[in-house]
């Protein structure tokens, strides 16, 4: 068998059509396998057909191989093994090559599993630090309650604001896959540094080791504090790499233009959060117990090892993933240029019409991207107080739990941070109920595939968050009353005769709120941003919590300073003389105002239209 190269020529109208979608015609030198045949014998072939009268060759299979919209041009699918294709020559998919052919119509891909595994491990590592961090700061590092809470909120704010920058780097240069790998490696390094800073004798002023020592056994040295905070902010940077990319990379494994995969992608957000909460629950129970009862070094070391294992699992799935890439510039650069174009608008003079016409398509596209982001801002702004409320569960709630009767049986004591497990358990329990029971029932009434709209889901979560803070305020009033009645107001380390389980309802309400608001916000900011900026959209979602953490830190510092002048601080180190109940009532009131604003904004919000492509080639606007 020999090979004959056939030079392709086309009618000018075809050339113009292909160039509109960015096809470089210089690559179309097709190779046909022939065996004792001339090129004329290829007439009538399903791939190539010659037309001597017009002296050009029709390439019948190319049009359906090319995407006709800018959105489809942006998406790239990597095919790990060769597949039969009617696309000739270099357009055919091959190993280790990118193709702009339409995404294959597959069942929900198993490749979405490894990204979820690495996300579960990331939750295990991150919450191995954050869940019990206030106990470490007020214990081994000797900080005040208000100072520790403010420091934690500031660190959490950095961890949730950095994704804005990292998402731009991922979209413009690294790609989501490489960003996830690098962030995982940074997690391993930073968690290893945390383990060493808390465990090695050289980092303690008295030379003791806290690898198997309880929290108050070793006093900190300046070296330990410095290394600890450097490691802590490296964890924040690693978290910033994971947050916007891991979930978007998992969602990219589903074809949004395929009806079945589109429905599966909606469920994917539920089950993604289910996996996250499974990792959170595991680390909260295991790590907090080890940290409080065995040692901080081991408590930080176990999540580090889990992250190593998860990274290996993620790398094993490399050849099975669908990859998304963008040939566009940095999102920040695009947005800056688009803002300039939007401001200039119609100010261009008539003499510049020729130049403007050349950039008209470019500027229009960029202006639409800016408008697409700006219209999300009212929703973003009306969820900030929810983020402030969200930050309380790992700070003041934990300190309150430490003052209660935590005994189970005669000897076992529940670690205060372990109560956060009830948030995760509630989410793990209710997500299947929501996905398999609530959504099908709601679908019968609303005829929406998701049961209720994304904004309705978010609004329900805001209501539950407000109720959770009201319940927390009532429980704190009860706790202060018990302290007074028992004569233990000035005994901050004494366990009050009040069961730990009094605090469970507020944690459960937090979990229910997350099922609605947190998952709803994730899906909303993934679905409603311009398609080329999806990682940036999830970073905007995370920035809600970044701003919320910073606002929480500011409120704590401001209220602490103001109330100290008039008497006991609301956040006194002796919680029996503090007034956390006042703070919780304040947050509940702010959440009520926020909810009212959210309802007004959501009533006028118009969802982005999406074009769904069906198997018959038809398109429908959604």
Rounded to whole angstroms, the Cα distance separating 307 from 303 reads: 6
Residue 225 near residue 234 (C-beta atoms within 8 A): no
Of the CA atoms within 13 Å of residue 541, those in its CB half-sphere come to: 26
Q: How much is the pLDDT for 570?
A: 92
Parallel/antiparallel/unpaired status of strands 2-7 and 29-34: antiparallel
Q: How much is the pLDDT for 89?
A: 38
Rounded to whole angstroms, the Cα distance separating 504 from 426 reads: 11
Rounded to whole angstroms, the Cα distance separating 449 from 442 reads: 9
Q: Which of 524, 558, 560 is nearest to 544 (CA)?
A: 524
Residue 246 near residue 279 (C-beta atoms within 8 A): no
Q: Which pTM value belongs to this model?
A: 0.69
* Residues contacting 291, CB < 8 A, separation 6+: 132, 135, 136, 215, 299, 300, 415
Interior CA angle at 164 toward 163 and 165, to 5°?
90
Residue 505 near residue 471 (C-beta atoms within 8 A): yes
CB-neighbour burial class of residue 356 (10 A; exposed 0-12, middle 13-18, buried 19+): middle
Note the CATH architecture for domain 110-325+377-621. Answer: Up-down Bundle (1.20)
Rounded to whole angstroms, the Cα distance separating 484 from 497 reads: 11
Cα dihedral 354, 357, 358, 362 sign? positive
Q: How much is the pLDDT for 601?
A: 94
Angle separating helix axes 222-251 and 519-527, nearest 10 degrees = 60
Helix (H, G, I), strand (E, B) or coil at 4: strand
Rounded to whole angstroms, the Cα distance separating 340 from 366 reads: 10
3-state helix, strand, coil split of the chain in percent (to 5) is 65, 5, 25
Q: How much is the pLDDT for 530?
A: 77
Rounded to whole angstroms, the Cα distance separating 277 from 458 reads: 18
Domain boundaries, the chain: 1-67, 110-325+377-621, 331-366
Beta bridge partners of 620: 612
Q: Which of 510, 561, 236, 247 is nearest to 391 (CA)?
A: 510
How far CA 394 is from CA of 136, 186, 227, 472, in Å, comes to 12, 24, 23, 14
Region of 532 please: left (phi>0), alpha (psi -120 to 50) or beta: alpha
CB-neighbour burial class of residue 378 (10 A; exposed 0-12, middle 13-18, buried 19+): middle
Dig out the tokens for 94 from the structure: 């091959």
Q: How much is the pLDDT for 388?
A: 95
Q: What is the mean pLDDT of each run of 10 residues along the chain (622 residues)?
A: 40 47 40 38 35 34 37 38 38 32 42 71 86 88 88 90 80 83 93 86 54 53 87 92 80 70 68 76 85 88 89 85 63 62 55 50 66 87 94 90 88 88 88 89 87 93 96 96 92 89 94 92 86 71 89 93 85 91 96 96 83 38 38
Rounded to whole angstroms, the Cα distance separating 192 from 235 reads: 10
């Amino acid at each position: 068998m020999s090979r004959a190269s056939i030079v392709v020529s086309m009618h000018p109208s075809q050339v113009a059509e292909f160039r509109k979608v960015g096809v470089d015609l210089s690559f179309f030198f097709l190779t046909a396998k022939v065996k004792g045949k001339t090129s004329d014998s290829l007439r009538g072939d399903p791939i190539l057909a010659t037309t001597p009268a017009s002296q050009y060759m029709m390439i019948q299979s190319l049009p359906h191989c090319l995407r006709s919209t800018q959105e489809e041009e942006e998406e790239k699918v990597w095919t790990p093994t060769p597949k039969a294709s009617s696309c000739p020559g270099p357009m055919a998919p091959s190993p280790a090559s990118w193709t702009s052919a339409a995404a294959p119509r597959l069942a929900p891909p198993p490749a979405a599993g490894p990204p979820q595994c690495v996300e579960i491990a990331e939750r295990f590592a991150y919450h191995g630090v954050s869940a019990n961090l206030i106990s470490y700061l007020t214990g081994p590092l000797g900080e005040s309650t208000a100072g520790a809470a403010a420091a934690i909120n500031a660190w959490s704010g950095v961890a949730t604001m950095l994704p804005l920058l990292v998402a731009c780097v991922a979209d413009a240069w690294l790609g989501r896959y490489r960003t996830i790998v690098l962030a995982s490696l940074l997690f391993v390094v930073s968690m290893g540094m945390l383990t060493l800073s808390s465990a090695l004798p050289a980092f303690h002023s008295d030379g003791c080791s806290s690898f198997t020592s309880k929290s108050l056994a070793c006093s900190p040295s300046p070296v330990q504090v410095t290394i600890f905070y450097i490691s802590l902010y490296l964890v924040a940077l690693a978290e910033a790499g994971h947050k916007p990319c891991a979930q978007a990379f998992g969602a990219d494994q589903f074809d949004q233009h395929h009806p079945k995969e589109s429905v599966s992608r909606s469920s994917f957000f539920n089950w993604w959060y289910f996996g996250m909460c499974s990792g959170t629950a595991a680390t909260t129970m295991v790590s907090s117990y080890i940290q409080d009862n065995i040692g901080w070094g081991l408590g930080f070391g176990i999540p580090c090892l889990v992250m190593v294992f998860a990274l290996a699992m993620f790398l094993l799935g490399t050849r099975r993933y669908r990859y998304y890439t963008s040939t566009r510039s940095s999102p920040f650069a695009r947005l800056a240029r688009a803002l300039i174009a939007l401001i200039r608008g119609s100010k261009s003079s008539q003499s510049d019409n020729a130049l403007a016409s050349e950039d008209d398509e470019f500027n229009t596209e960029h202006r639409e991207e800016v408008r697409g982001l700006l219209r999300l801002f009212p929703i973003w702004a009306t969820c900030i107080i929810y983020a402030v409320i969200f930050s309380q569960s790992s700070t003041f709630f934990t300190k309150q739990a430490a003052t209660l009767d935590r005994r189970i049986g005669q000897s076992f004591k529940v670690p205060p941070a372990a109560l956060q497990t009830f948030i995760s358990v509630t989410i793990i329990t209710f997500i299947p109920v929501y996905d398999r029971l609530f959504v099908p029932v709601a679908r019968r009434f609303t005829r929406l595939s998701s049961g209720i709209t994304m904004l309705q889901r978010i609004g329900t979560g805001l209501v539950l968050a407000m109720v959770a803070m009201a319940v927390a305020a009532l429980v704190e009033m009860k706790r202060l009353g018990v302290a007074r009645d028992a004569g233990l107001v000035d005994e901050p380390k004494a366990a009050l005769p009040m069961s730990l389980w009094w605090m469970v309802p507020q944690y459960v309400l937090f979990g229910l709120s997350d099922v609605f608001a947190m998952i709803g916000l994730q899906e909303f900011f993934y679905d409603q941003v311009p398609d080329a900026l999806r990682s940036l959209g999830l970073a905007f979602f995370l920035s809600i919590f970044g701003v919320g953490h910073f606002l929480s830190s500011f409120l704590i510092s401001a209220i602490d300073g103001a109330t100290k002048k008039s008497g006991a601080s609301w956040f006194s180190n002796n919680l029996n003389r503090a007034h956390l109940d006042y703070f919780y009532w304040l947050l509940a009131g702010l959440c009520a105002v926020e909810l009212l604003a959210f309802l007004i904004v959501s009533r006028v919000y118009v969802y982005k239209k999406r074009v769904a492509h069906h198997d018959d080639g038809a398109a429908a606007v959604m």
